[in-house]
Copies of this chain bind each other. A is one copy, B any other.
Amino acid sequence: MAKPDKRDEIVRAALELIAARGFHGSPMAEIAKRAGVGAGTIYRYFANKDVLIAELYRELEARIYPALLAGYSTERPVRERFLQLGSAMLRYFIEHPLDFRYLEQFHNSPYGVECRRAKLFGEPGKGSLFRELFLDGIASGEVKQLPLPVLFALAFGPLFSAARDHILGFVRFDEVLIGQAIAACWDGVKRSETLPATED
């Protein structure tokens, strides 16, 4: 069932424009022009702008997920898994700046809040890769005993910040620097050797 490629063109155009200028700097008319379709055509594929925005987010997630999972195995040690996932994520963002800029916009919109809540508290399965990883790490004593949101902040905060700085040209990440940065994130997350014993 070959879906009409107009839809793809609309999605691509929306990604490009919104990544560059934000939701409010991307009128439907301009998305249509860039996609090479009429303004009304968009509404044959998406009920309204909000739906287009949400659907585009879902498509990006579906693209990123496989990139993260390439060569990933829950059998490996926690530290190794963390370094692999983190590096893959930072690498993906750096290689796909449009995707990253879009995700950033999205996360800072009202939608983003719901999305984050789902990531933190949602059912196991989808998107909970890091959650399982952290829970494993806490259980094995390799990761600090902190609330999940704090661990997420320690891991993703620097990651997003670093990706933004790279895309804005404030710093240039190569493979070496990616490794160093993710290793530093791990230093923040991992239980320090000198930590006094805590009762269980």
Which residues on A are within 8 Å of B, measured CB to CB?
A: 24, 104-105, 108, 113, 116-117, 120-121, 144, 146-150, 152-154, 156-162, 165, 168, 170-171, 177, 180-181, 184-185, 187-190, 192
Contacts and interface: CB of A to CB of B under 8 A. Distances in A.
A120 B170 contact: yes
Nearest to A185: B188
A4 B85 CA distance: 55
Contacts of A105: 108
Tell which of A105, A165, A168, A180 has the most Cβ of chain B within 10 Å.
Answer: A165
B153 A161 contact: yes
A150 B181 contact: yes
Given A108-B108, A116-B170, A165 B153 contact: yes
A185 B154 contact: yes
Given A148-B171, A149-B162, A157-B159, 10 more contacts: A24-B24, A104-B108, A144-B184, A147-B171, A150-B171, A150-B181, A154-B158, A154-B188, A157-B157, A157-B161
A51 B46 CA distance: 36
Nearest to A148: B171
Contact of A184 (B152, B154, B159): B154
Contacts of A154: 158, 181, 184-185, 188
Is chain A's interface secondary structure helix, strand, loop, or mixed overall?
helix
For the complex of A and B, list the 10 residue pairs with the smallest distance between their C-beta atoms, beginning with the closest: A157-B157, A188-B188, A153-B161, A157-B161, A157-B158, A149-B171, A149-B165, A153-B162, A153-B158, A149-B170
Contacts of A180: 144, 146, 150
A150 B146 CA distance: 23
A59 B152 CA distance: 31
A99 B180 CA distance: 33
A111 to B, nearest CB: 12
A162 B168 contact: no
